[in-house]
Amino acid sequence: MVHKLHIIQDIPVSKFRSIASQVIACMSCNMLLLDLGMAVSFSTIALPDLLNAKEGLSLNEDQASWFGSLAFLTQPLGALFSGPLVDYFGRKKATFIVNIPHLVAWILMYYAWNVPALFLANGLLGLGTGIMESPINAYVGEISESSIRGALCTTTQVFTSVGILVMYFLGVVVPWRQAALVCLIAPVLSMAWVVFNLVPETPVWLLVRNREKDALKSLCFLRGWTTQENVREEYDALVEYAKTLKQCIICYKTDSKESELNDCEHMKMNFVKKAILKFRYVMLSKETLRPFSFIMSYFAFLVMSGLAPIRPNLVNVCDAFGMATGGKNVALMVGVITVVVCVVVAGTIKFLGKRKLCIGAMLGTAIFTLALSIYAKEKSYVPLFLFYMMTVFTALAIPWVLFGEVFPFRSRASAQGLAAAGNYVITFIAAKTLINLETTVQLWGAFAVYAAFAFVGTVYLYFFLPETEGKTLQEIENYYNGEFRTFADDPVINYFKRFKR
C-alpha cells in the first residue's frame, strides 16, 4: 500500500491581510491622534464663548491670548518626557500611559470653576499632547512595511484632521463644556485597544531587549497573522540590524574592538560620564543631527506660513476679513477640507512621493497666503476662497510623516520628542505674536510675513528634502549616516552639478 506524502506549504499572505493587520495595530495611535486633534483645536471653539462672556466664566483679551497659546507652551515639556518614556516602557505600554493626562484634562475642563482651573486644564492638554508624540511616530514607523509606511503615517494624520473637524462640529452644536465631555471617548478607546492586546510591541524594540521569540511573534501579527516562515527573511534582517543596536555605542563610534556589550569596559564607567558620552555619540551624531536640523527647519517654515498662527483666533481673523460666513462655520469647513485632503494624500503618497507633495504644498500655501495679504490691503479678491485654498495646501504638507521615519533607532524617541518640543515652541511664538504682528503691520502685513516664510520654505525644501518614499528605515538611516549630501537628488539640481564638475 502506498501512502501519499502531504507536504504543508506556507501560503503567502495576501497584501490586503498584511495591510489590515498593520492598520489594526495602529488604531490605538489613531485614537491618540483623534484626541490630539480635538485638543489642539479646543481653544478655537471655546474662546468665542469665553471672551468677555456676560455670564459664567469670562476671559478678557489678555487672558484669552494666553488661553489660546498656553497649550503650545506646555507641549514642549511633555515632548521632552516623551522620548525617555517610550524607550523605558516600550512603544506599546507608552501608548497606554500617555492617555492619562488628557483623561484628567478633559474632566477638569468640563468642571472648570474659575480661570485658573481653565488654564490648568488647557495646560494639561498641551502636556499630554507633547507626551503623545514619540509613542505615535516611533510605533507607526517601526511596525510598517516600507511600501506602505508613507500611507500609514499619512492615515494617522487623517485622524488628527478628523479630531479637529469633530471639535469644530462640536463647537457649532454644543457648548464648550459638553464638547470637553465628549472628548473623553478618544483616550478611553485608545487605552481599551491596548488592554485587549490589539497593539503588539514593535519587533525591533523587542530584539534590542533580547526578546527574540516575542519579536518574531509580533512580526507574524503585523504581517497578516502569518507563520514564522513567511516573515523569516524580514526577521533575519531585523536581527542583524538589532545586533548593531545592542553594541556599546561608545565602542561602536570609536572603532573599538570591544564592541560586545557584556565585554565592554564602558559598562563599569561612572554613570554621569557614560551618560555624557552616550549623549555625544547618539544625539550629536550626524545620523541624528542631519535629519533633526532638516525637520526643525521644515517645521519653522510650515508653522510660520499662515494657518498655524491664526488657528486659536480663527473665528476672529475670519471676522476681520469680513467673511460673510460665520467664523465658526468657516472653522468647521476648514476641518472638512483638512480631512478630505489628508485622505487624498494617503491614497496618492505612494505614487507622488513625499518630495513632490512637500514642495508643492509649501508653494501653494505661499501663493494663497500672499493673495490673502493682497486682499487685506486692496480688497480685490474673494477672501473665503483664498482662505480655503490656503487650507488645502497646508493640509497637503506631511512633516509628521517624515518625522516618523528620518531618525535612527538609538535616538528616535528622544529626537522625536525634542523635535516635537521645538515645533510647539515655534507654534507658541507664532500664535502668541499674531495680535502684536497685526497691531504693528496690520492684517495684510501679518499675512505678507507668513507668505515670505512659505516662499523661502519652498526653496529650502526643493534643495534639501530627499525622497524617502519606499525606503526602509535602515536605508534612510544609512543615507544620513553616509557621505554628506548638500543638495537633494533632483534632476534639475543634478543638471547644474555637471557644470561644477
Nearest CA to 266 among 282, 279, 255, 277? 277
Contact 312, 47 (CB under 8 A): yes
Summarised one tens digit per residue, pLDDT across range 423-464 is 878 888 887 788 788 888 888 888 999 999 999 999 998 888
pLDDT of residue 326 exceeding 70, the answer is no
C-alpha cell belonging to residue 341: 485632503
Q: What is the rounded average pLDDT of the residues 197-218?
A: 88
pLDDT at 108: 92
Nearest CA to 305 among 220, 189, 430? 430
Summarised one tens digit per residue, pLDDT across range 375-419 is 888 776 677 888 888 888 888 877 877 877 888 877 777 787 788
pLDDT of residue 7 exceeding 50, the answer is no
For 41, the enclosing helix (H) or strand (E) is helix 27-50
Q: Where are the domains of the chain?
A: 15-199+283-481, 203-280
For 133, the enclosing helix (H) or strand (E) is helix 115-143
Residue linked to cell 531618525: 407
C-alpha span between 138 and 153 (Å, rounded): 10
Q: Look up the pTM and report it.
A: 0.71
Give the rounded distance of the alpha carbon of 483 from its chain centre.
28
Q: Taking the CB of residue 484, how many other CB atoms lie within 10 A of it? A: 7
C-alpha cell belonging to residue 161: 484632521
Q: Domain 15-199+283-481 adopts which CATH fold?
A: Growth Hormone; Chain: A; (1.20.1250)
Q: What is the rounded average pLDDT of the residues 320-338?
A: 75
C-alpha span between 224 and 140 (Å, rounded): 16
Q: CB under 8 Å, gap of 24 or more: what pairs does 313-321 form?
A: 313/47, 313/68, 313/431, 313/434, 313/435, 314/44, 315/44, 315/47, 315/48, 316/48, 317/443, 318/387, 320/438, 320/443, 321/372, 321/375, 321/376, 321/383, 321/387, 321/443
**pLDDT band, residue 486 (cuts 50/70/90):** low
Classify residue 59 by its DSSP letter.
B
Write the DSSP string, 207-268: HHTT-HHHHHHHHHHHTTS--TGGGHHHHHHHHHHHHHHHS-HHHHHTT-S--STTT-GGGG
C-alpha span between 13 and 382 (Å, rounded): 52
C-alpha cell belonging to residue 146: 516600507
C-alpha span between 92 and 193 (Å, rounded): 10
pLDDT at 9: 47
